[in-house]
Structure 1
Amino acid sequence: MADMASAGSSPFLDLSAGIPGDSKPAPWQRAAMGANLLSPGGSLGVTIFEEMTTLAVSTGAINLGQGFPDEDGPEEIKAAARRAIADGANQYAPGKGVPVLREAIAAHQHRFYGLKPDPDTEVLVTTGATEAIAATLLAFIQPGDEVLTFEPFYDSYGAIINMAGATHVTAPLPAPDFLPDLTVLEDSFSERTKIVLLNNPHNPTGAVFPAYVLSRIVELAAKFGAIIVSDEVYEHLTFDAAHTPIASLPGAAERTITVSSAGKTFSFTGWKIGWLTGPENLVAAVRTVKQFLTYSSGTPFQSAIAVGLGLPDEFYTGIAATLRHKRDILAEGLRAAGFGVFNPSGTYFINVDTAPLGIPDSVELARRLPGLVGVAAIPVPVFCHPEGAERTRSLLRFAFCKKTDVLEEAAERLATLKDRL
């Protein structure tokens, strides 16, 4: 994997000695290696998000690195949380989630996609999507198994795969469209493929997988007997076409766990309310693991998110339209800066190529950018294995889930980049 020792500017904590008398990597070391946080010598670094945030704070830069909104979501959801707290919903929730939220999740899946999960047996509420994915992977994988993800990949995927002792295999998403070559994708499967972990819409590239790609994933998963885990947290943040859950395709439902959360849709990332849906036997297995992680969380927030899931269609179309406008504001500034810009079809991330500026190394530019123009971003290579890091070496990711005036200011600053280099 890409060496975070080269991606992080903070000193590493030297833990290379490990546990006395034990030559094997500890689980925490495997997790760190999987997330690109451990150098070959065993030194522990900080995440690229922490490094870029520190640079943004120290330089007064606008932080378009980490993907979190800078304003709250709908007032009616916040009011529902306050009512729940006042009404005494402050103790443990049921392990599988409060009934009103499980029912709302099932209704959401039916309303938007025609899916009909049973709220009692096929829906599980989790502490964010991250726990849903972690509990699912820990439920099904072990040493000797392979987990296939697309690359670039969200860093927590690699951490959990490695911590569980499985092998992380990747299929590349090359620019400019960030869609997989289906022949390469098939070659990435093997008899040891236990899970194919899909993120659609995709972070960090902003790609939305079309039906033909999703259908081929289903066919290959069936051929090799793999479970599909579909991370769909950006499901309502698409610009060119409506989101298609892979579970809605023929042959997929019986082998698919679908994951989503309230953080991205409703801009309440700090509440950490996520969920998953799928066939009863798979959900039961994940619930067995999940109950020994957090057991339950966020009782008043759960009922509040149930209110959010019932908001009218205008809310959902509105958030996508607003993000499209914000994407276009930032894209204009990035083009003026001289970047090659890849317009995303979904999520709230936009990727650029630094090579047109004569800078082939996006990590180098990411470190300089806050001081140069007062904007922070994330280099894409840190989301990759070494080969993928080389392929994406000149790619940089910006988040546009910020207030319009902040993005306008960022665009103006970025437009000065060519003159400052």
Structure 2
Amino acid sequence: MVACYAAHGLALHAWSLFASMRRSCPDLAGDEFTFSALLRPPRQVGNADDAEFLLRRGALAHGLVLRLGHLADVVVATALLDMYAKYGRVAEARRVFNAMVVRNVVSWNAIIVCYGWHGEGNKDALELFRMMVRDGCCCPDERTLASVLSSSANMAAANEATQVHAYAQKRGLQGFLQVANALIMAYGKNGFVQEVKRIFAMTDNPDMVTWSSMVSSHAYLGYAKDAMHLFQRMLQQGIQPDGIAFLGVLSACSQAGLIEDGLRYFLMMTRSYLIDPSPQHLACLVDLLGRAGRIEDAYNVVVKLSSESNTDIIGAFLGACKMRGNIELAKWAADKLLRLEPREAVNYLLMSNAFAAAGAWNELAKVRSAMRNRCANKVPGCSWIEIGGTVRTFVSNDMVLHRSMEMQLMMELTISHVQKECTEDTIFEDPILIQQWQ
């Protein structure tokens, strides 16, 4: 009965029945089958309270599993690891993984997926993949490769994506649709559009995820026309687009300023395919309306179609007000952002840019003063480069990096050489531009 409830996603009922069993029959502690079913997290958790309840019950069951010696069972240990991963407890999941006596491909996949799901663990996911290959006790499968490639895409780590691709080719796993889709996204995030096209051309029977990945990758790389063309080809193939595919084509239209096309796709999404717009869709719509000069329509979207607590949509509206110089509505949007996130420096920067574009210098001074009083020092934007398989980040005039003085000297020598080689009609002959370049 416990397994039946758990298999049908009724985790709360399963735990209630297990508690009843323990109260009625204290001698029945449960066996490996009981805990492997009980600890398996449901696909959908009702709300935050339910998730917290299930996590507490899982932690208590963890102690019981240890006391009964069931952690030696690979299925029970994997279910426990998966439970912690589902609720974002990476450290606990890793402790369970490290304590496992026997590991199979499922347990390796569970810990790799766990790190891939949670931001700062992406690098660890790649390292775990290397450990799995070196260990040699079980070979990575298509799910392993798809998870690692997703981590490579999140890190913008081109070298890792290429290495995993080579491994997939060597093992004959590139033909799996799950791996092909992950390769498209990984190469797309790393800017290799030709590799994206080549993998897509080699993919048999691409599904909706494949097409959506292609559309999103081209939109991300700034190929708006190609993204729209791919979207139309997807429709011609009889593939019904989902919200992700529409988000890709809408963002492409937004970035390229294709106003009419973007509005047409938004109407197609809501009227023809009956897809409820997400905050990301609405932010694209607000940006499109702002570019078209339809500020009042954009305002109605913010007020009527979206939650006024969504900062992404309000931020897009503030950008539209900046573009059109509408100072009154810019103040309204700025006030909303201030009340929602008073300590986010990026909101103050959006507001100050809007006021500067409109020439509202008094308002700009107030925003800058509020930013100094309420926010910590602004985190500078950073760039990154991959060297020797390691992604290194740096900021402007960064003197903390190893051998930074040598890098600065090399940059100065390069600029000096370029200035000497440039002809008089190049921009480098302009002393102002030379100073800005330096």
TM-score, scaled relative to structure 2: 0.29
Higher helix fraction (1 or 2): 2
Looking at CA atoms only, which structure, 1 or 2, has the larger radius of gyration? Answer: 2
Query: Which has the higher relative contact order, 1 or 2, with Cα contacts under 8 A spaced 6 or more apart?
Result: 1
> Scaled by the length of structure 1, what TM-score is found?
0.29
